[in-house]
Structures are given as structure tokens and as C-alpha cells.
Structure 1
């Protein structure tokens, strides 16, 4: 007999407000919900698409006192897109319970978010930068905080966010419940994670840093300069209804989208340099299947759910190995099958080996028909010295021939 949400100690109010599609708890929900309800700190590891939001969100709603208009639970997330998605999921249940959920993130007028807080939100979903700004200005208080949850916790523990996270924690009561949820947690971050919690329950619905078994991985070895043509060929040869393409830089997302558009491929680009309203519209169009191909940076590598997304393509491999697990986890969600394709060049050997080591998967590369590999491996040497490929020599001579520094285009920051 399948387990039910009623068996997880959730109160009748929450059970009666569950969305219709929530019938049987996922593994991470079954493992985490009772521990959170008991008041334990929890470190939870589960594949993306496994139901982590409700694994911390349902017990959070269970414990909220709707009669008190103070902020009682806080969810920290690394991106605006994830903040929006988590808020929407919580509101599906909270709105029926008289519980207010507010979202704090950049790209939205602070005045509107301040007004929302003043209505008395009991749960806040926030990105670190905007929340810290509001804390410093006294717009929000964490004095009554009971539960602090980190969604995509490993990203929030990295140096880009860690200083802000530490400052936020200084505003929170020491006597609180802390929940860390993630699909990956490198050993280097384990100490920081454990330092945030008090004798936590560690629950895992999947092997740490692993890739979902339902994902079929295909890696093609191609020349670095051939990647755009290889991507176009794959898109033209296959009738995939939707494809999410990851690149490493914002400028690459725009330039690649232009090349695909010239070939008549329905495409859009999404990255952090775009206005928030435009970002939201582009993502909404893709989720509604109004756009076939979406090219993005790692802005969308974490947490974002697209129904039945069949294919993810890495036009560039990420330098950070755990990011690969998050990227490919956009497909094969909720037990469905998915395809993850990576276009790999010799210059990405170090990144590929790091991903192999993290995931424990062989990840062998194969050739792509019509794309002969002529680039040389990065470690090819002659007489003990590194040999530069002929193509690189030509590029160097072209660079030396530049007459003005203005002819050099500055390298764009990563997303």
C-alpha cells in the first residue's frame, strides 16, 4: 500500500490544502517531512525534480501560526527565478490556509516588496542581496524566525553568497531550526553546512552528487570553433519540441541565439543582464512551449522546473563540476526520462575529468557525424614544450595585427 501524506504527521489543514497532483510523497518528502515537524535540523540531499520544495515547504506551513503576523519562516534561494518558483509552489497551499508568503529579490521595485511585508507575511522567500538590504534598513525583522531553510544550499555556501548569508544569520535567533536542501554538496562545503546546524538529521533520497538514472548522457567531441554549427545540426536533425541550452557566458548566449535565429530556429536567450520583467517573460514563454530553444547561463541551472523538458544541451561544460549535475537535472524530472547532450572540446578536458570524478560516471565522448575533430589535445607536447595548435598561431598573429586597443572586445563576466 503506497504511503500517503497523512502518514507524515502533517495536520489536517495542510492535508486538505494540498494540490490535486500531490497524492503520494516522493522519497525526499517521506524522509524529510517528519524530521522537520519534530523540530530537527535537517541536511537533505536529493536529485533535482524530486520534490524538495514541498519537502521543506509543507512542514513549514504545518508549523506556521496563522494568527501571528510576524515572519516565522525564511527560505533563502540563489536566484530570482527560483525565488519566484518556490513562492508560487508555497502559495498553492498557503493561500488556502490564510498564510501570507512574500518574495524578496532584486529586479522588483523595493517599495512593492516593502508594502507586501507590511501586510504581515509569515513566510518569506528571498535572495540574499535584497534580504540583507531590507534587514539593514529595518524593513524586515528576523526576531520571530523559527525556521531558516536553504534551497540549493551548496550554491549559498559558496563564496559568492557566503558573506551575505553570514550577515543574514547574524540577524536571526540562535534558537532556530535550520534546513539545508540540495542536489549536490561537495566535501569542501560540508564543514560550512554543519556549522549552521545543531546535530542535524542527514537524509538522502539519492547518492550524493549523482546524476538521475533516467537521464541518458551523450557527449560529442568537437572542435571548439565548431560548437555553434554542431548545435544547429543537432537541432535540425532532431524533432525535439523543447531544448534548454547552457553556455558559460552571457555574451555567448546572445551571439549563439542570433546564429540559431538566422537558421530559422525558434530561439530566445536568457541571462542576468536582461531586465527582470524580460527574464520572467522569456522563461514564461519557454515553459508555455511558445519557444522551442532557450539558451541560458547557469542562471537556470538550479531548481527551475519545466514540465517534461526532453533535452538539455551543454554547449560549454561548466568549470564547477556540481553545476553539471544541476544543469542536466533540468530534464528527467519527476521520474520521467531525459537526454543530456554535451559538446566537448579538447580544452575542456580538465572540466570533464572533474565531472567524471564527482559523479563516478565514465562519460565517454564520441564523434559527431560531419564534424571532424582537428583541434589538438591541450596537453600535446613536442620536445617537452607545449605545442600551440596552428589555428591558435593564426589567431595570435591576428591579435598582434590589431591597430587599436578599441578593436579588442572586453570579455564579459560569467552569469
Structure 2
């Protein structure tokens, strides 16, 4: 289906990228429902065009209303995604003012941006992360009383990252009569329950099977020793000479340590995580998108909706502890119909995480051997390595009156 068949206005159609002709499945399903004013629960894989699925009809509604208040609100989990969504939407029409509100940026500057947007006398749309938006609302720095359309983008990640309490507080500042659109790549039972209470007789659309992975991704899972993972990653990068690789790791400190090892091995690499300064994060991501970095090591900061053109390879140095995150991580490759490779380096200690991913995606993975990396670690027996507790000793310790009672007395010696 062509975009011209979706009842979108001429201005929006003329501002679409030249390489876009036909709507994706989620866009074909979502856009008519949004234009009809329906609440929406949309399930779509990462890279399927979700931003246009809600952005195009939102912009059209804002243009038609032609008010200069904040009537559109998009809530996303990270500042990188907030900036990406805002940039995409702002290009669709010169008739609207788009403002980004997120952490890591001076609040005074963001308040000034809001005031400047209001002075333009254009319909306003705000793209925000939950923490900063709630902060500004509590300071009465903005009003959401005129919001008519609310989007929760990457809703499963908003919940998984612990933002849902903030989202619920934000909703108390938004009119109940709003139109609510919830977009997610996965739909766990908890999120489904929240959606039932949040949405009013929603249209439910799905561009794929629930919790599925893009079919254009070739997945490989290798069983390796925990201590061999960094060496295995270096060997894979050097052997395959991929143009770009996005590597996911769970801890910020480990991201920096791994990056140092990659650089020492002669690989052009950098790290990106939440402890980096905002400007540094923007520059690193910009360098990677421009192809100036071969390997980017990141925490789950970049698993949430970030688009990188033609990214060929994603590698999980560690499996995520949350199963839906696996779907988001590998969804950074094979976007917009392209092919991609997703590799996971798995050790015996990650068996529970692997089982959770298999249960969510309803697939059974085969762990392969990686040439040159013999597995010597043994699976955990599940038995505790700690010696049985001496309950009597515990009771004796509890009867001590102070810390002095635990200090051994020096032996005394008599002179003869």
C-alpha cells in the first residue's frame, strides 16, 4: 500500500524521504486507526517503522487542530531515542513545533525551548523521557492539560526499566479524554494488564507473531567459557572484518574494560553507556552512525529503538537478564527489510537467561562450538557452595554483648 492511499495530507507526503514509497505492515495497520481517533495497542518488531506509524497521523492531527498548545506527547525510555523520534517527526511538517525533554541536558535550556516553541504560535508536540518530564511537571514548568494524543513508544522497555510508576504519575497531568497509542516490540503479561487499564476500547494490531524476532536476522549462539568471552569477541571481529559491530554488555564498567581490550588488539572501538556525558554520548553515536567506528560497546542504552543504517552485526557478549531485551538488542540489525547477523556468546552460568529467552520467543536455541575455544567450564550443579551454617554458632554470636567480645584476648606470659 502506498502512503498516498492512507489519507495523509499533501505536505506530509511531500516531506517523506525519497526512498519511501510503500507503507510497512505496522504503518498500514496503525495509521487508519489513529486517524480515526481510536486508542491503539500496536505490536511491531524493532525496525518495522513504528515512528512513522504514530508520527504521520499525529502530525496530521496537529496540523488540522492548529492550536499553539502542547497537544501531542510521546514518551520514550532514553534520550537517544527521544532525539531520534523528534528529528524524524519534525521533518514531516514545518507547521508544528517539536521539543525534546530528557535528562542529561540543562533544564533551563529545555524550559527556554518550550517557551520559544510556544511563541511560534504553532501546534506543539513534546517528545520526552519519563524522569525529566515528571520533574518539569512537578515544578509546574509546563502544562499537559491540552494534550489530545499520547504515545508510549517502546512500552515494554519503559516497564522493564522501571519507568512505569513515573508514567502513571505523568498520566495524572494528562486529560482522560486523550487518545492513547501504545507501541511495543514485545507484550509480556504484565504489560498487557497495564494496557487493558490504560486504553479505552483499543484497536489491537500486530505486524508479527507476539514476541517474535525479525526473520531476516541470522542468529548464532556459541557456548564459550566465561573467561574467554573477550578473546572470542576479538577473534570474531578480526576474522570476519565486519564493517561495523554493535556489542552489548550488561555493566557500564565492563563496557569500558572491554573497549580497552579491543583497542589494544588494534580494533577501532569505543564505549557508550549512561555514565558518559551527554555530549560525549552524542558524538560517539554520531561517529558510529557515520561509519567512523568499527565496534561500539554499549549497555542496553542502545537496545531501545535506536536506528543505525545497514548495521550488519550485533553481538551479545552477555545475554540480558530480561528476555524482552534480547529481542530489542538483536533488532538493531536487519532493519527496514535488510539482512543481519546476531551472535551471542553464552556461558554455562547464563542457562536461566537463555531459558527465559526461549520461553518468550517460543523457540529452542542450539548452542554451537566456536572454533579455537574449547569449553572447559562445567555446568552449575545448582547446589550451594557455602558450607552448612552452624546454627548454634549463630546463636552464640547473637548472645555477644558488643564487638569487643569477638576480639581474641592476647595471651599472657609469666616470667620465670
Q: Is the 8 A contact 2:244 2:293 kept in 1?
A: yes
CA distance in 2, matches of 1:158, 1:350: 18
Structure 1 stretch displaced more, 10-19 or 216-225 = 10-19
CA distance in 1, matches of 2:138, 2:385: 54
CA distance in 1, matches of 2:233, 2:19: 36
2:259 alignment counterpart? 257
2:75 alignment counterpart? 76
Alignment of 1:162-311 (within 5 A): 162-311=164-313
1:4 aligns to 2:2 (yes or no): yes
1:372 aligns to 2:374 (yes or no): yes
* Structure 2 unmatched runs, 5+: 387-416
Give the counterpart of 1:42 among 40, 43, 55.
40
* Structure 1 unmatched runs, 5+: 389-415
Q: Is the 8 A contact 2:11 2:93 kept in 1?
A: no
Structure 1 stretch displaced more, 311-320 or 189-198 = 189-198
CA distance in 1, matches of 2:361, 2:338: 20
CA distance in 1, matches of 2:260, 2:157: 30
Deviation at 1:113, TM superposition (A): 1.1
SS in 1 for 2:336: helix
Deviation at 1:370, TM superposition (A): 0.8
Q: Is the 8 A contact 1:72 1:146 kept in 2?
A: yes
1:356 aligns to 2:358 (yes or no): yes
Structure 1 stretch displaced more, 106-115 or 218-227 = 106-115
2:13 alignment counterpart? 15
CA distance in 2, matches of 1:343, 1:377: 15
2:25 alignment counterpart? 27
1:114 alignment counterpart? 111
* Partner deviation per Cα, 1:355-409 (whole Å, 9 max, x = no partner): 01111222110111111111110127xxxx5579xxxxxxxxxxxxxxxxxxxxx
Deviation at 1:159, TM superposition (A): 6.5
CA distance in 2, matches of 1:222, 1:48: 28
Which TM-score applies when normalising by structure 2? 0.89
CA distance in 1, matches of 2:71, 2:25: 26
* Partner deviation per Cα, 1:193-247 (whole Å, 9 max, x = no partner): 1211101000000111101000000000000011011011101111100000000
1:91 alignment counterpart? 90
Q: Is the 8 A contact 1:154 1:182 kept in 2?
A: yes
Q: Is the 8 A contact 1:217 1:363 kept in 2?
A: no
SS in 2 for 1:72: strand
2:406 alignment counterpart? none
CA distance in 2, matches of 1:104, 1:94: 20
Q: Is the 8 A contact 1:157 1:192 kept in 2?
A: no
Alignment of 1:335-354 (within 5 A): 335-354=337-356
Q: Is the 8 A contact 1:4 1:24 kept in 2?
A: yes
1:56 alignment counterpart? 54
Count of paired positions? 380
Which TM-score applies when normalising by structure 1? 0.89
* Partner deviation per Cα, 1:262-321 (whole Å, 9 max, x = no partner): 111000000000001100000000000000000000000010010000000000000100
CA distance in 1, matches of 2:285, 2:38: 36
SS in 1 for 2:368: strand
SS in 1 for 2:41: strand
2:66 alignment counterpart? 67
1:105 alignment counterpart? 102
Q: Is the 8 A contact 1:103 1:113 kept in 2?
A: yes
Q: Is the 8 A contact 1:331 1:340 kept in 2?
A: yes
CA distance in 1, matches of 2:296, 2:316: 12
CA distance in 2, matches of 1:156, 1:193: 13
Deviation at 1:81, TM superposition (A): 0.5
SS in 2 for 1:84: helix
Q: Is the 8 A contact 1:314 1:342 kept in 2?
A: yes
CA distance in 1, matches of 2:160, 2:294: 33
Alignment of 1:294-333 (within 5 A): 294-333=296-335
